[in-house]
Structure 1
Amino acid sequence: MNLSLTKTLSKTALVLSFAFAIIPNLNAEQRPLEVTDIMKFKQIVKPQLSDDGKWLAYSAQPDRGENSFHLKATTSATEYQIEHGSKGVISVDGRFAAITITPTLMAKEQADKKAKKKLKNNLEIITLASGARVTFNNVEAFQLSDRFGYVAFLSEMPKAEDKDETEITTDTDKSDEIDEKDETKLFNAKRINKSLTLVNLETGEQQVIENVDGFSFSKKTPSLVYSISTQDGVENSLKALNVKTNKASNLVSKANTSFNGFSWNEESNKVAFLQGDFSQEKDERTHTVKIWQSNNNKIKTIKTNDKQAASWYVPQTNKLTWSLDDERLFFGFKPVVEKLAKIDTKPESIDDLYNIEKLTEGRNLQIWHGEDPLIKTNEKYQLGKDKKSFFTAVYHVDDNKLVRLADQKLISVKASNNEHAVIAKTDLNYRKLRTWEGFFSDIYIVDLDNGKKSLVANKLSSYTDVKLSESGRFAAFYENENVWVYDRSKNKKRNITKGLPVSFADEDHDYPSKVPGYGIAGWLKDDDGILVYDKFDIWLLQTDGDDAKCLTCEMGRPNSLQFRINKLDDEQDYFKDDQRLLLTSYSDEMKNFGFYRLNLENSKLTKLLEENKKFKFIAKAKKADKLLYTQEDFNEFPDVWVADLNLANTKKLTNVNPQKDEFLWGQSELVEWRSNMGVKHQGVLIKPANYVEGMQYPVVVYYYRRFSQRMYEFNAMKVNHRPNFPFYTSNGYAVFLPDVHFEVGTPGHSTNKSILPGLQKIIDMGVADPKAIGLHGHSWSGYQTLHAITETDIFAAAVSGAPVSNMTSAYSGIRLGTGLARQFQYEQGQSRIGASLFERRDLYIENSPVFFADRITTPLLMQFGDIDDAVPWQQGVEMYMAMRRLEKNVILLQYEGEPHHLKKYPNKVDYTIKMKQYFDHYLKGAPAAKWMVEGEAYRERK
C-alpha cells in the first residue's frame, strides 16, 4: 500500500475483525497490563549518596498509592524501608537519617477540605548502624545536625482549649495587655504558635522551647540559633544554644522584631540573618542584615548610607548566600515604591452622586497601550515574579564594605563563588519583543569590588549560557553560530571558533529563529582555556582563539558519538588542567549510551562502560570514590547502581518494581526510512508482547519532534494524557515513535512527509496492519494530528489532545499561564511559520486544519481542559464546530477546571480508559463504548 499524500479522500469507517488482535500468550505466567497496574508502578525520586558513600537514600513513589522511603547500604545487604516516607536526609557524619512521614493516601482522600488542613506529617529518625528507630508526631519542619547527633523540629503548640486548667494559668497583668477589649495591636494575630523540640539522638533526651518560628544548626559547630516570636511581640528574641553544653545565649531581645533567613558561613563561625522592625505602620517593613560571630559573641550590622536607605530597603523575601571562602555575603534590596492610596468612593452627600472624579475613582480598568513594554496579562505575571525577586548586593566581610551589584536597570545578578566579578543580565530593552520575537538580554560583567559594569554583549538570547573565568577578566558566550570571549580589561570581544572545521551551532535546528549553540562546559583554572561543545565533541579553546584542540574528535564525530561532561563536584567552579573527567556518551546513530573517562592532561579518552542501554549519572560521594548511576531500556526500569570512578565493581542497589516480570511488555527496535523529500529518518518500533513473525498488528503512532532517542528508555509508568506504551504493547498493539523533520513555513505538511514513509516501512516489515493504524498527539503533536488527517485517509482513528486548529485565531491569542502573547510562537518558535500573519496570511491558512475539515474522513477524538493555560481551549471548539457542521465523526472531551495537562487523577484515569476504548473500537473492531455512541447529557454538579 502506498501512503502518498492525497487530498481526495473517500474512506468509510473501519470495522476490523477482533480476531486479528488476539495475541497468543506464549508465557502463561505473564498477563496484559491494566490501568490499575500502571498506577502501582513506582519511580525513584531524589536518590542521594551519603558523603562517605556507604548509604543510598531515595523515595519510591507510585503513580497512585503509598510512598516509601529506603536506605540501602552500598557494601552490604542492609536495607531499611520506611512506609509512607516521602523525603529524607542523611547526616554528614553518616550516623543518622531523618525521614518525613506523610499521611496515607486513604486519609487524604477521605478527609474534607477542613480536615485535610489538620493532617500533619510525622518524622522518623533511624540510627544507621543499628537500625534503631524513633518517631515524632505532627512535625512541620525539621533539621538534622551534620555532626553532633541532634535533630530539631517545629510542631504546632497545643491550643488553650486542649490544655488543662493548670497549663493555661497566666499572670494577670500580662493577660490584661492582650485583652480583647484592649486596642493594642497584636504583633501577629494570625500566627500559629509553634514549639521547637531538640532531641539528643544518642541519649534520647529532649527539651522543648515554646514560641519558636525559625531555627538553624551550624554546619561544623554544636550551635543552634533560633528565634522566639510571641503573639504580642513583646518578648521576641534571637538566641543561640550550644547543644553539647546546653548553654544558651541571648543574642538580641527586642519587642516587635522578627529574625529569619538564617545562613551559616562555610566555616560555621558566623550566621547571617534578617532582623525586621514591626514597631511602626509601614507599607514595607524594615529589615536589616546582621551577622552573629560565634567566636566573640558579637553582632555586626550591615549598614547602608542615608541616601540608599531613603530609596532602597531590605525585603523579608530575600536570600542570604555566603561565598565558599566566607569572604563575601550576598543578599538583596528593593526600591521603595510609593503605593497608591486607597480612596473611599462611597458618596457622603447628594452632590457626590454626581461627582465625576469620585465616581471614576471606583473604576476597574487596565489600559492596554500599543507602546507598553509588556501586554497587560504578561505584565501581571511579571509583577508576580518581581514581588519575589530582589536586586543583589555583596558585602565584603573583612573590609566591611557593601557594594550594590544590581539596580533597576541591571536587574538580574546571582550569587557566585568567583572572587572578582559576577555575570549580570537585563531584559528591559527587549520586553516588547517577547510578543513576536522571543526573550533577549544584555549581558554584563560586574566587578565585586566597586560595582563597575562592563558590557559583554547586546541582545543575546536570555537562555544563553555565559561563563566567567576564574580571574573575572573573561566571559565566554555563544552568539551568531560561534563562541566568543569578552576581555573586560581591553573592552574587546573575539570570535574563538572562527575558521574551525565544525559548527558550534545546532545542526538539527529546524525553527525560523536564530540557531542556538551546544553550550559551554566551563573554564579551566587560572583562565587556561575553555571547554566547549559541538554536536559531538569537546573542544579546548584559548582566549586568543589560537591553539584550538579537539579532545574527543578521534571517537566523537566519526562514530556519531556525542560526549558531555558530568560534574562530580558541585562546589568545583573550574576544571583543573590535569583533571580526569567522567563523560557520558550518546550514539546519535544507534541511540545507546555509555561512560568514558577523559584525561585533560594528555587528552586520553578511555571507554569505561557502553551497552545497548541508556545510562544516566546521578551523583558522586563527596568523600569517597563512589558514584551512582541508572541504566535502563524499554524492558529495564532505571534502578540505581553504584560503582567506583572507573565504572568497575558495579552493583545494582534497587529493585523497586519487581512486579514488572508479571506482565507482558514488548520489545523496541530502531527503524530507518527516507522521507518524501529523501531525508534519512529514524524511529522506534515497539513490537507487541509475544510478537509473532509475519502477523500484522494494530499500531498506535505517537510523536512530537524527535523520538528516536527514546530507543533505550523505560516508559514512564504513569496514567496521564499520553498513551502508556507497555499498556498498549501488552494488550496486542504495536507502538511507533517516528522522528519528524520540520520545514519552516509548512510545519503541518512536514508531519506526513516524515511519518507516512515510516508507516509504509513498518507495513513492509509485516508488522503493521495497514487498516488498523491510529494516530495520537498532544499539544504541538495534537496540532500535527489534526493537520495529518486533512491530508491522508491512512489512519483508522485519531486522538488529539489540546491542539491548535486555527493559526489565524490563535496567532494573536494569549498563553494564560504566563500571560504571554502567542505571536512569537508562530513567527519564531514551535509553529515555525517564520513570518507574521500580515506578511504570509496564506501560510497561516494553509497550516490551519480547521479550513480543511471538509477533507477529513478519519474518526477524531479531541481532549481539552477548559482552563488550558497554553492553548486556548476554544481551538478545540472551533475544530469540533467545523466537523460537527460538516457531519464528520468527531467527539470532544471537555475536562472541567483542567489546564493544558490533566491534573486531577479521576480525569487522568477517565481519559486513559476512553483513549483505549476509542482505539480498541476503530483498530481492533471491539464494540463501541456507550459514550462513543450516545454521548452524554450535560450534568450539573453541586
Structure 2
Amino acid sequence: MNLSLTKKLSKVALLLSFTFVIIPSLNAEQRPLEVTDIMKFKQIVKPQLSEDGQWLAYSAQPDRGENSYHLKSTSSDREFQVEHGTSGVISADGRFAAITISPTLLAKEQADKKAKKKLKNSLEVITLASGARVTFNKVEAFQLSDNFGYVAFLSEMPKDQEKPEQTDSTKESDAKQTSDEETEVKLFNKKRTNKSLTIVNLESGEQQVIEHVDGFSFSNKTPYLVYSVSTKDGANNSLKALNVKTNKTNVLATKANASFNGFSWNNEGNKIAFLQGDFTQEKDERSHTVKLWQSNKNKIKTIKANDKQAANWYVPETNKLTWSLDDERLFFGFKPVVEKLAEIDTKPESIDDLYNIEKLTEGRNLQIWHGEDPLIKTNEKYQLGKDKKSFFTAVYHVDNNKLVRLADEQLISVKASNNENAVIAKTDLNYRKLRTWEGFFSDIYIVDLNNGKKSLVAKKLSSYTDVKLSESGRYAAFYENENVWVYDRNKNKKRNITKNLPVSFADEDHDYPSKVPGYGIAGWLEDDDGVLVYDKFDIWLLQTDGDDAKCLTCEIGRPNSLQFRINKLDVKQDYFTDNQRLLLTSYSDELKNFGFYQLNLADDKLTKLIEENKKFKFISKAKKADKLLYTREDFNEYPDVWVADLDLANANKLTNVNPQKDEFLWGQSELVEWRSNMGVKHQGILIKPANYVEGMQYPVVVYYYRRFSQRMYEFNAMKVNHRPNFPFYTSNGYAVFLPDVHFEVGTPGHSTNKSILPGLQKIIDMGVADPKAIGLHGHSWSGYQTLHAITETDMFAAAVSGAPVSNMTSAYSGIRLGTGLARQFQYEQGQSRIGASMFERRDLYIENSPVFFADRINTPLLMQFGDIDDAVPWQQGIEMYMAMRRLEKNVILLQYEGEPHHLKKYPNKVDYTIKMKQYFDHYLKGAPAAKWMVEGEAYRESK
C-alpha cells in the first residue's frame, strides 16, 4: 500500500506542475470537451442521393438529443430541415420527399410504459420544387409512390369506429353463437386490424380513407396501389387494387377470414406476388399459398406445387418473395410438413392420475445433453430460433409456370439470385459439431434453376468463404487452401487458377491458428470472360483455365504498399463489362491514407483521381445520373458528405453537421513506428494533446485491440460508450496512443507487451509521454490483454479493463450466452490463438490466464462488466476480482446490472465514461480520488 500512496503523492505534484504550464497555453476561443459535449455531436445516418442526383437526403443524429432530417440540393443552396426527422425517402421522379418524425426524446423519457405505447410518429411530405410541406399525425407506416404523386399511410382507427356500440338485440344474437363459432371469431379477432389507410394526392391535397387495412404497396412504375382489408367479422376480407390515376378499384380476391400479405412487385411494376392465408388457421400455417396478380390482364394466378410437393411441403407465412431483375423468376420458400406430437394434459383428473407415470413425466422440465448431439443445447436453442424464421428456397419460372425446389432438408441455404441459370447453395449440416472447437464450415453447391440439379463445388469450406457464380452459371470461383479455384460444373472439375502466380492470395497478416483466409473475389466479367480477384494489394483478372492471368494494378499497388478495392456503383449489376470504368478505393498500408482511382477495363489504364492524407469512403452513385457520394475525414475533420462527378471533378461538400467542433480543443494525430521485442516492425497512432508543447511530457491513455494504425485518418466516433473518447482525453491534457499488436500463436498474452512496451518507450523517447503517467485501457479481447499485461510489467500507473477473460481454463468450456455457442473454438482456432485444446496444452491455458499470476500485479485495476454479458461470462471478472481482493491488491469492479457485453443503457454509459476519466485523472494526473474510489458504494436494490 505504501507504493500506491507514493504514486498518489507523486501524481499530486505532477498535477500542480502540469497545470501551471498548460493553462496559459489554452486558446481563449476553444475549451476542453465535456461529457455533455460528446452527447451533442451528430452522426450522418443513411445518406442517399435522389435517382436524378439532384438531392441529398440524410438524418443527423446526436448521441443523445433530437434528430433532424435534411434535404440538400446538390447544385444550389436550397435546403430543407425537418426537426425530429429520423428517416425518409425521395420519390423516384424526384418531386417529393417523405420523412418520418418521431416523438421528442423528452416525451419518450417522461412517459411511462403505458404512455409510451400511445406516442406515435408523424409524417411530413415536402414538395421539392415549391418547398410546400404537409404533415400527418399518428402515422404507423407509410409509402411514397415513385412516379405518381401520392402518399399512403396507416394509422389507428378511432375507438368508436373500431368497436361500434352494440344494441341489446345484437348482444342477444351474439350470445347464441355456438362454441365453435366463438372460437373462430376469437382466433380471427386476435389478428384483425384496427388500422385505416389514408391515400393522399400530393398535388391536389385530396384524401380518401379506407378502414380496416392491414397491408398495402405501391407499384413502382404503374399507378396501382394494392391493399388488403380485414373486416371486423372477417366475412368480407379482401385484396384490392386502386388505380390512383383513374380512382378505379379492382377487387382481386374476397374470402371470409382470409389474410393477404408479403406483397412484392416485380421490377416493371405490372405484377405483384403475395401470400394468401387464413386468419383462423392460427396453429397451422399450411393455409398459405403464393399468388400473382397481373395488372394489365387483371388476372390472378395461383402458384401450385405438384402433388408430391404439396403433400410434404407447405408455404410458411414467414417468407420472402423476391423477383429476379429480369422479372422471369420469383423466389420464395417452403417448409417441410412436420407432424406435431399430441400434447398430453398433465393436470390430474382423478386420484389415479396422481400416480400416472406418463402424466407425471410429461410435465417434466428437461433438456438432454448428449455427447453426439450436433449442437450443444444452448446453441441448438439459438439455431431453432433462426430456423423458425427461415425457409427452403424454391423458384417459380413465370413464363412456363414451372416451380422448382432449390433447397431442402439437406441443402439448407439458397439465396435468390439474378443469374438466369443457377444459384449458389450451401449446407453446414455435416459440420455443426465442429462449431464447438473448430469453427463454421459448409459444403458449397451450384443448383440448376431449371431442374434443381445439384453440383458439388467444394467440401468443408469456411462458411464465410466468398463464392461467386459466373454469368452462364457454369463456373464458380472460390478461395481454398491459400489459392483461388474455379469449379466447372459441365466437367465436374475444379482448377487452381493462382498456383503459378508470384504472389500470395492468402491473408499475409493472418496471426490465428486457423486456416488462412483469402482477400476475396470482386466478381465475374460478362459472358464468363474472366474473374476479378484480390491479393493483399492488387486486382487480378484471371481466366477459367488458369493459363492467362493479368494484374491490373501491379505497377502501382504492391510496389507502393497500396491496396486497391473496387467500389460497386450499381448495386444491381451482377457482372462487370469488359470495357467498364471502375471506381477504386486506394489505401496505403504504410502511410495509412486513402484515395480514389479509376480503372478502365477496356485498356487496363489506371488513373489517380484523388489521394490525400485523409480517409475517403464511397457511399453511392445516383441511379440515373453520373453523381457520386463520398465522405472525407481525418482526426480533426468529421466525415461530412461530398458530391462529385464520376471522375471526382466538381467535388462539393454538401454537409456540415458538427460546426460546433471548432469550439473545442482537439489534438493532432501522427504515425509512429518501432520494432517489437522480436524485431518485428510495428506502427501505431500517437494523438498529441491539444495545444501540445514541444518537449513537455504528458499523461498517456493507451487504447488497443489488434491493429489500430489504419485509423490514422479516422475521425473518432463521438459517442458516450465503453471506449475512451479520444478527443475527450486529448482536449483535457492527455495524449492517446493506439499501438498495433502482432500476436504469436500459443502466447497471445505475452504478445501484447512484446508489441506495445517498445512502442511506449518510443513515445517516451520522443519526449511526449510521461513514463510515470501511462494508463492502459482495453475492452473484451483487449480487456484480457490488459489483465495479462499488468501481470508482467509495472509500467502502467493504472489500468481499466472492460469485460475481460481472466481465466482461460474456466472460460474454455464456457458458453457464449448470446449465440449459445461453446467457447472452445475461440481458444483453439480463433481470437485467443492458443492453437491446441486444453487437454493437449494445459500449460498454455494456465500460462495465458492472468488470474494465476494476480500476485504479480502492482497496477491499480478498474474492471467493468455487465452481469448479463452475452459474449464473456461476467464471472470471469469475479474470478479476477476475488483473486486480487484476496491478495489485497488495488482493484475495483463495476457491475452494471442487466447489461450485456457492451453497455446499452445511456445512464450506465455516462456513468462509466465519467468513472473511467476520474480513475485516470487520479492515477495519471494526481487529481483527488472520487468518493467511489475511496469508499466504494453500499449495495442498493435495483430500481
What TM-score does the superposition give when structure 1 sets the normalisation length? 0.97
Paired position in structure 2 for 1:3: none
Counterparts in 2 of 1:657 and 1:618: CA distance versus 1, 3 Å? same
Deviations 1:271-314 (A, max 9, x none): 10000034557533410000001111110110012221121100
On the 8 A contact 1:144/1:152 being kept in 2, the answer is yes
Q: Say if 1:345 and 1:361, in contact at 8 Å, map to a contact too.
A: yes
**Match of residue 78 from structure 1:** 78
1:805 counterpart = 2:806: yes
1:769 aligned residue: 770
CA distance in 2: counterparts of 1:701 and 1:177, whole angstroms:
77
Q: What is the aligned length?
A: 930
Equivalent residue for 2:647? 646
User: Which runs of structure 2 are paired with 1:298-313 in the superposition (5 Å)?
Assistant: 298-313=299-314
- The equivalent residue for 2:561 is 560
Closer, same or farther: CA 624–744 of 1 in aligned 2, 3 Å: same
Higher relative contact order (CA 8 A, sep 6+): 1
Which deviates the most, 344-353 or 672-681? 344-353
Aligned to 1:533: 534
Aligned partner of 1:122 in structure 2 is 122
| 1:861-887 alpha-carbon deviations (Å, 9 max, x no partner) | 000000000000000000000000000
Checking the alignment, whether the CA contact within 8 Å between 2:469 and 2:477 is kept in structure 1 is yes
Letter in 1 for 2:190: A
Give the aligned partner of residue 363 of structure 2.
Answer: 362
Secondary structure of 1:290's match? strand
Alignment of 1:608-647 (within 5 A): 608-647=609-648
Q: Helix, strand or coil for the counterpart of 1:916?
A: helix
Which residue in 2 is equivalent to 1:290?
A: 291
Match of 2:351 in 1: 350
C-alpha spacing 1:872/1:35, structure 2 compared with 1 (3 Å): same
Aligned match of 1:251? 252
Aligned to 1:110: 110
Following superposition, the deviation at residue 256 of structure 1 comes to 1.2
Contact (CA 8 Å) 1:12, 1:857: kept in 2 or not? no
Q: Does the 8 Å contact 2:423/2:473 carry over to 1?
A: yes
Residue aligning to 2:88: 88
Q: Which residue of 1 aligns with 2:847?
A: 846
Hey, what's the Cα distance between the residues in 2 that align with 1:189 and 1:670?
Answer: 62
Q: Distance in 2 between matches of 1:173 and 1:471?
A: 69
CA separation of 1:162 and 1:296: change in aligned 2, threshold 3 A: closer
Q: Name the CA shift for 1:737/1:282 in 2 (closer, same or farther; >3 Å).
A: closer
- Alpha-carbon distance change, 280 to 923 in structure 1, aligned in 2, over 3 angstroms: closer
Question: Does residue 60 of structure 1 match 2:60?
Answer: yes
User: Partner amino acid for 1:142?
Assistant: F
**Structure 2 CA distance for partners of 1:270 and 1:176, relative to 1, 3 Å:** farther
Contact (CA 8 Å) 1:21, 1:698: kept in 2 or not? no
- Aligned equivalents of 1:281, 1:651: Cα separation in 2: 56
TM superposition shift of 1:86 = 0.1
Pair 1:471-2:472 in alignment: yes
Q: Aligned AA for 1:306?
A: D
**Is the CA contact 1:178–1:232 (under 8 Å) kept in the aligned structure 2?**
no
Q: Take 1:912 and 1:161, find their aligned partners in 2: how far apart are those partners?
A: 51
Q: Offset of 1:19 from its aligned partner?
A: 2.2
CA distance in 2, matches of 1:176, 1:782: 69
Mapped partners of 2:326, 2:871: distance in 1: 44
Contact 1:636 1:714 in 2 (8 A): yes
Give the deviation of 1:169 after TM superposition: 6.2
Offset of 1:232 from its aligned partner? Answer: 2.3
| 1:172 to partner: Cα distance | 9.0
Identity value in percent: 88
Aligned position for 1:757 = 758
Matched, 1:891 2:888: no
Residues 34-76 of structure 1, C-alpha deviations (whole Å, 9 max, x = no match)? 0000000000000000000000000000000000000000000
Give the structure 1 partner of residue 153 of structure 2.
153
Letter in 1 for 2:131: G
Q: Residue 331 of structure 1 aligns with which residue?
A: 332
Task: Look up the match of 2:131.
Answer: 131
Which one-letter code corresponds to 2:786 in the other structure? Answer: T
Structure 2: 5+ residue stretches without partners:
none
Structure 1: which amino acid aligns with 2:890? Answer: N
Amino acid at match of 1:815: R
Deviations 1:792-812 (A, max 9, x none): 000000000000000000000
SS in 2 for 1:198: strand
SS at 1:794's partner residue? coil
1:38 alignment partner AA: I
Q: Closer, same or farther in 2 for the Cα pair 1:451/1:792, shift >3 Å?
A: same
Is the 1:322–1:330 contact (alpha carbons within 8 Å) kept by the matching residues of 2?
Answer: yes
The match for 1:101 is 101
Query: How far 1:174 sits from its partner (Å)?
Result: 7.5
How far does residue 171 in structure 1 lie from its aligned partner after superposition?
9.3
CA contact (8 A) 1:14 1:771 kept: no
For residues 716-770 of structure 1, the C-alpha deviation after alignment (integer angstroms, 9 at most, x for no partner) is 0000000000000000000000000000000000000000000000000000000
- State the alpha-carbon separation in 1 of the partners of residues 769 and 823 from structure 2: 38
Residues 392-431 of structure 1: matches in 2 within 5 Å? 392-431=393-432
1:19 paired with 2:23, answer no
Q: How far does residue 350 in structure 1 lie from its aligned partner after superposition?
A: 2.0
Alpha-carbon distance between aligned partners in 1 of 2:515 and 2:412, rounded to the nearest angstrom? 25
Deviation of 1:477 after TM superposition, in Å, equals 0.2
Q: Does 1:451 align with 2:465?
A: no
Q: Is the 8 A contact 2:193 2:230 kept in 1?
A: no
RMSD: 1.5
Cα pair 2:281 2:287 within 8 Å, conserved: no
Deviation at 1:179, TM superposition (A): 5.6
Instruction: Give the AA of the match of 2:941.
Output: E
Displacement of 1:786 in angstroms is: 0.1
Once residues 352 and 213 of structure 1 are traced to their aligned partners in structure 2, the CA distance between those partners, rounded to angstroms, is 47
Tell me by how many angstroms 1:546 deviates: 1.0
Structure 2 match to 1:30: 30
Alpha-carbon displacement from aligned partner over 1:809-842 (angstroms, at most 9, x marks no partner): 0000000000000000000000000000000000
Give CA deviations for 1:200-256 in whole Å, capped at 9, x if unaligned: 000000000000000000111100100001232111000000001100011101001
SS at match of 2:756: helix
Evaluate the alpha carbon distance shift between residue 539 and residue 174 of structure 1 in structure 2; reply closer, same or farther with a 3 A threshold: farther
- Post-superposition offset of 1:349: 2.1
Cα distance, 1:918–1:87 mapped onto 2, change above 3 Å: same
When residues 208 and 859 of structure 1 are mapped into structure 2, their CA distance, relative to the original with a 3 A threshold, is same
Structure 1 gap segments, 5+ residues each: 1-8
Conserved in 1, the CA contact under 8 Å of 2:471 and 2:527? yes
2:214/2:228 contact within 8 Å kept: yes
How far residue 12 of structure 1 moved from its aligned partner, in angstroms, is 5.8
The one-letter code of the counterpart of 1:146 is D
1:14 offset after TM fit, Å? 4.3
Cα distance in 1, alignment partners of residues 162 and 279 from structure 2: 30
Q: Does 1:389 align with 2:386?
A: no
Contact 2:195 2:213 in 1 (8 A): yes
2:853 and 2:538 map into 1 onto residues whose CA distance is: 45
Question: CA offsets per residue over residues 578-623 of structure 1, 9 Å max, x none?
Answer: 1000000000000000000001111110000010000000000011
Q: Return the structure number with greater helix share.
A: 2
